[in-house]
Structure 1
Amino acid sequence: MDHFTLTAIFLIVLFFLLGSGIWIGLSLMGVGAIGIMLFDKGFVGANLTDKAWESASSWTLTALPLFIWMGEILYRTRLSEDMFKGLAPWMARLPGGLLHTNVVGCTIFAAVSGSSAATLTTVGKMSIPELRKRGYPEFMTIGTLAGSATLGLMIPPSLTLIVYGVTVNESITQLFMAGILPGIVLASMFSLYIVFWYFLKRDQRPEPEPTMTFSEKVWNSRFLAPVILLVLTVIGSMYSGIATATEAAAFGVIGALVLAAFQRSLTFETFFESLMGATRTSAMIALILMGAAFLSLSMGFTGLPRTIAEWIGSLNLSPTVLILALMVFYVLIGMFLDGISSVVLTMAVILPMITTPAFAELGFDLVWFGIFIVVVVEMAQITPPVGFNLFVLQGMTKHEMGYIARTAVPMFLIMVLMVVILILFPELATWMPENMRARGGG
């Protein structure tokens, strides 16, 4: 068989296995094994074990299970109840009222979780019953929650950024710092959407909340103080250069255990559940990374990444047009794969395109591209048919998938606008890492 036929067989097997429901990590390993046998005639077992060990033995990757465990611990505390008590007095008088608790609550929990699903579940179980009880429109309640929960992928500690950093060999701390300002800007845009709704749909406004004095608001803020302190400890230790991402994750786990003990929600049962939950998630991601590393080796033998890169290069697209094309590509692929799988599966092809001098001249480096990747993966979280946030919300609200997807459309469009902002102002993602490097951190 010629090279073209072998490549076609390779791609057919890849898409068949990914669409068959087999675990993604195992699917990637299977395709990689077939690629090795077709193109290299080499010993599959030796290649598989070498690449699996190489992908899983990175010291940087140790931050991943620690941050996952921190989020799992906090997920099992009374954090959701306390967050609403602390946020509601400050949000009630804003245009849009308590809908802002969805955005701000997701922003805060994202800074201690790193997972979109955990952020959605934690904030959703706090806000949905309260907003329904107060007469807020269901469309806005669900839509703002679906979009805001995706902040768990951008605001550090982001699991997607950790995986991306390991895949492209970029500093995790630098990537975390790069996600802070875009995350705040995106959260602000979500809040502005709520403000516009408030003034455009006057007939949908609920009854205003009772007025509270400033001292009462401050007193209620005591519920937020511990988690805010935890966020500042984790992010501040990295930004100041005191700790690496892995060390900051260890601080976060200790802080989460202290917070859970302080709330009297730390029992042997919750401790064990959080540990097992973190183990399962970490093992799943590690398996995907192993499979992706093996597949990348196999794809190197096919010459597919080089062929695709050369073909795209022959189109003479400007870097900006290529970025917009990649946005569409990642949204489409994200409809069928989770974010981490999308990143590790495509990097072998995409990396040669984004490390050219033309990209660097526009300020598009690997750190910037990591934030771009996160935004487009966020979009995929709220697009059918496999938008994971939509499934979580369906389980929580019992609404039809089509209705939930429609509520998320405005948030999707806001994320598209965020991509445009990142293209026009790349320093939004690069300023903090560059400032940190200048100060000797990271």
Structure 2
Amino acid sequence: MDTLQLVEIAGVVLVVLLALLASGVWIGIALLVCGWIAMLFVPGGIPIGSVLATNSWSNSASWSLAALPLFIWMGEILFRTRLSEEMFRGLAPWLGWLPGRLMHVNVIGCGLFGSISGSSAATTAMIAKIALPELKKRGYDEMVSLGSLAGAGTLGILIPPSITMVVYAVAANVSIIQIFLAGFLPSAVVMVLYSGYIAIWALMNPDKMPPAPPKMTLKQKLSESVNLIPVMLLIVLVFATLLLGWATATECAAWGVLGSLGIAAWSGTLTRSAFWESVMGATRLTCMIMLILTGAGFMSIAMGYTGIPNALAAWVDSFHLSPYALITVLTIMYILLGAALDGLSMIVLTTVVVLPMIQQAGFDLVWFGIFLVLIVEMAEVSPPVGFNLFVLQTMSGRDSLTVARAALPFFFLLMATVAIITIFPEIVMVLPRMAFPG
């Protein structure tokens, strides 16, 4: 197919997707329909039903995805304990001086949980389950709460260990350990930018902030911080199983569930009804996410059959751009692809064409891996296929446009991070070079 035909196909699919989402069709079903339509344009009589069945099975049978329902169940268990209230009580005395106060818990919580989950969706779902009700109860602005959760949830794929990083390392034939090391400082930059934005917003909108809590003595602060012990013990448990080699990143989720059940039993909230409610809540949310994953995977395969991602990458290569111009154009290209593809599909479908261009321009492949992960993060919070937006839409009851509007400032902060690591690449490369000199 020529370029004009590919543009027409992409336009038709995007219009249909927007129309279906606007009409209230389930997100997963809308993605499946759009994938089916895209497959109809592929010449050669592709067996659409067989492709759909194979894709659905491969997506749902993935071992890496086994962590998702477990981490979601972990969040459901903790939601039914007093942990959320205790976590906020423990953090509140120490964040009272910072503009934005408890909204920074979204960033801190996602950063901590992201370092053990490796999944953007699991991070968003877990922290949102705990944070949204507490912030709403305390009178914090819902839009900033939703936006910060959508943005900070993406830390699940930037802070190692990360499934996305592993996929890129395999595709680019680079060291997984170096990619992991390269992700630490950029993730710190993202967290600082997020907290900075929340602080500035709070200073500019004092009327939208709840009243400041009464001042506390150091003894009172330490007494309240006892409430953080269950949270810290759970984090230590999951981290220890990973660092000591007792479990893989996926198996850590099972340890997290075990720890959550222990906390629930210790707090006296592990009743038969609470246990069953947590199981059913996790099942409903997991089914919703898996349906969306199936739809996104099928749509990604359909787009791959049409050849649109490869054609777009080849078109960019034909301009023979300077290094910084190439990065700018690739950023725009991946943002556009992120409107129709999930992050892993973006990496798998384009690296074959893009990596030679990157090497020829003189960029390090480890650095480009972090650049690509940041772009994938941007795709997670950009409509219409922003996965974190879907998760928060379901958990908050708000429509997708409202959640997307709330996440927009954090989308631009991720774009600013891309600019920062492009101008100062040592932010990415300093740790890998220290660990692997020469």
Partner of 1:368: 370
Aligned partners of 1:347 and 1:260: how far apart in 2? 40
Match of 1:41 among 45, 66, 81: 45
Shift of 1:227: 1.5
Match of 1:324 among 328, 345, 364: 328
**Contact between 1:73 and 1:256, CA under 8 Å: does it hold in 2?**
yes
- The alignment partner of 1:355 has SS state of helix
Note the 1:47-126 alignment, pairs <5 A: 47-94=51-98, 97-108=101-112, 114-126=122-134
Shift of 1:161: 5.3
- The alignment partner of 1:93 has SS state of coil
**Contact between 1:110 and 1:156, CA under 8 Å: does it hold in 2?**
yes
TM-score by length of 1: 0.73
Note the 1:155-174 alignment, pairs <5 A: 155=156, 162=163
**Contact between 1:33 and 1:44, CA under 8 Å: does it hold in 2?**
yes
Judged with a 3 Å threshold, the aligned counterparts in structure 2 of structure 1 residues 197 and 347 are, in CA distance, closer, same or farther, namely closer
**Contact between 2:242 and 2:252, CA under 8 Å: does it hold in 1?**
yes
Partner of 1:127: 135
- The alignment partner of 2:85 has SS state of helix
User: Cα deviations across residues 325-362 of structure 1 (Å, max 9, x unaligned)?
Assistant: 4544555666x66xxx5325544543334422625942
Q: Structure 1 unaligned runs (5+)?
A: 133-137
Greater displacement, 297-306 / 121-130 = 297-306
Shift of 1:253: 1.8
Match of 1:274 among 273, 278, 286: 278
Partner of 1:135: none
Greater displacement, 7-16 / 267-276 = 7-16
Match of 2:33 among 19, 27, 32: 27
**Contact between 1:99 and 1:194, CA under 8 Å: does it hold in 2?**
yes
Judged with a 3 Å threshold, the aligned counterparts in structure 2 of structure 1 residues 345 and 257 are, in CA distance, closer, same or farther, namely same
**Contact between 1:198 and 1:205, CA under 8 Å: does it hold in 2?**
yes
Partner of 2:316: 312
Note the 1:255-294 alignment, pairs <5 A: 255-291=259-295, 294=298
User: Cα deviations across residues 175-220 of structure 1 (Å, max 9, x unaligned)?
Assistant: 7776554333322223333554677778998765433222321221
- The alignment partner of 1:211 has SS state of coil
Judged with a 3 Å threshold, the aligned counterparts in structure 2 of structure 1 residues 342 and 24 are, in CA distance, closer, same or farther, namely farther
Shift of 1:268: 3.0
Aligned partners of 1:89 and 1:313: how far apart in 2? 54
Note the 1:197-208 alignment, pairs <5 A: none
User: Cα deviations across residues 392-426 of structure 1 (Å, max 9, x unaligned)?
Assistant: 79858x9xx77x87776654443332222233345
Shift of 1:302: 3.9
1:151 partner letter? A
Provide the alpha-carbon RMSD of the alignment: 4.6
1:130 partner letter? R
**Contact between 1:64 and 1:162, CA under 8 Å: does it hold in 2?**
no
**Contact between 1:116 and 1:153, CA under 8 Å: does it hold in 2?**
yes
Judged with a 3 Å threshold, the aligned counterparts in structure 2 of structure 1 residues 148 and 184 are, in CA distance, closer, same or farther, namely farther
1:30 partner letter? W
1:80 partner letter? S
Aligned partners of 2:178 and 2:78: how far apart in 1? 25
User: Cα deviations across residues 205-248 of structure 1 (Å, max 9, x unaligned)?
Assistant: 87654332223212211211221222233245435544321122
Shift of 1:108: 4.6
- The alignment partner of 2:250 has SS state of helix
Aligned partners of 1:391 and 1:294: how far apart in 2? 22
Aligned partners of 1:150 and 1:41: how far apart in 2? 41
Q: Structure 2 unaligned runs (5+)?
A: none
Aligned partners of 1:196 and 1:9: how far apart in 2? 43
Note the 1:215-226 alignment, pairs <5 A: 215-226=219-230
Aligned partners of 2:8 and 2:207: how far apart in 1? 58
Partner of 2:355: 355
- The alignment partner of 2:252 has SS state of helix
Q: Give me the identity figure in percent.
A: 35
Shift of 1:313: 0.8
Shift of 1:273: 3.3
Judged with a 3 Å threshold, the aligned counterparts in structure 2 of structure 1 residues 31 and 283 are, in CA distance, closer, same or farther, namely farther
Partner of 1:423: 422
Aligned partners of 1:345 and 1:124: how far apart in 2? 30
TM-score by length of 2: 0.73
- The alignment partner of 1:39 has SS state of coil
Judged with a 3 Å threshold, the aligned counterparts in structure 2 of structure 1 residues 218 and 169 are, in CA distance, closer, same or farther, namely same
Greater displacement, 59-68 / 424-433 = 424-433
**Contact between 1:95 and 1:195, CA under 8 Å: does it hold in 2?**
yes
Judged with a 3 Å threshold, the aligned counterparts in structure 2 of structure 1 residues 344 and 31 are, in CA distance, closer, same or farther, namely farther
**Contact between 2:96 and 2:212, CA under 8 Å: does it hold in 1?**
yes
Judged with a 3 Å threshold, the aligned counterparts in structure 2 of structure 1 residues 16 and 33 are, in CA distance, closer, same or farther, namely same
Greater displacement, 245-254 / 356-365 = 356-365
Shift of 1:89: 1.0
User: Cα deviations across residues 47-103 of structure 1 (Å, max 9, x unaligned)?
Assistant: 444444444433333233323332333233323211211011111234554554454
Aligned partners of 1:169 and 1:314: how far apart in 2? 26
